[in-house]
Amino acid sequence: MKFFADTADVDAIRELNDLGLLDGVTTNPSLIKKSGRNILEVTKEICDIVDGPVSAEVTATDADEMIAEGRKLAKIADNIAVKVPLTLDGLKACKVLSGEGTMVNVTLCFSANQALLAAKAGATFISPFIGRLDDINVDGMDLIAEIRQIFDNYGFETQILAASIRTVNHVKDSAMIGADVITAPPAVIKSLANHPLTDKGLDAFLADIKAAGIKIL
């Protein structure tokens, strides 16, 4: 499974990348707004840090404008994935941009039928929003499983990018079902390493080392 960081925080991206835990990044105008910086400037800096796909979202809702914005975003770097919404206009833009060789991330997916349309439009990634479905008492993991089955049935190459990840269990369950990618806040990705028994075992180990006076360097 690939790990994408869902953030525009350059320092957090660099930290995860240096740890070897990062395969890509997803951004959107709301995340970049928090940085107070220019969207093109921030996106370029992120692309310079990360080798994998960096999703940059269009701001238009009309297909022709989305295509124009997507082409501009794609010029930032070779690893840009243009993010478009799952609307008919977004699907039209996806078809055109993917046909030109640009990676496209179709976002705001909440049903298997929507995912099927995105795959047929040539999407590189489809982003089902798990947490937002959970918010309305719908199990987001059921959607991941449905999309996985449909894509496997027909050999679609579109990658399932589980988004709106809120917890470490979301990550685990997505991996068990077979999502290709998860995108999550850096804090969630880092917390995957946490376990109380690991902490307890390490404390005991360090106490034994100290008592024995063991030194390697």
Q: Where do runs of H (alpha helix) occur along the chain?
A: 10-18, 29-35, 39-49, 63-74, 88-99, 112-120, 130-135, 140-154, 168-177, 186-191, 196-212
Q: How far is CA 9 from CA 23, 30, 33, 81, 185, in A?
A: 16, 12, 11, 18, 10
Closest CA to 115 of 24, 180, 176, 68: 180
What is the DSSP secondary-structure string of 6-67? E---HHHHHHHHHTT--SEEE--HHHHHHHTS-HHHHHHHHHHH-SS-EEEE----SHHHHH
Active-site residue among 44, 72, 83, 172? 83
Give pLDDT tens digits for 14-69: 999 999 999 999 988 777 877 778 888 999 999 999 999 999 999 999 999 999 99
Angle, in degrees to the nearest 10, between helices 140-154 and 112-120: 40
β-pairing, 80-85 vs 2-6, is unpaired
Q: Is the dihedral of CA 24, 30, 36, 39 positive or negative?
A: positive
* DSSP 3-state of 98: helix
The confidence band for 151, taking pLDDT boundaries of 50, 70 and 90, is very high
Give pLDDT tens digits for 101-123: 999 999 999 999 999 999 999 99
75 has catalytic annotation: no
Predicted confidence at residue 2, as pLDDT, reads: 98
Give pLDDT tens digits for 62-101: 999 999 999 999 999 999 999 999 999 999 999 999 999 9
* DSSP 3-state of 83: strand
* DSSP 3-state of 122: coil
CB 104 within 8 A of CB 123: yes
Is residue 201 predicted with pLDDT exceeding 80? yes
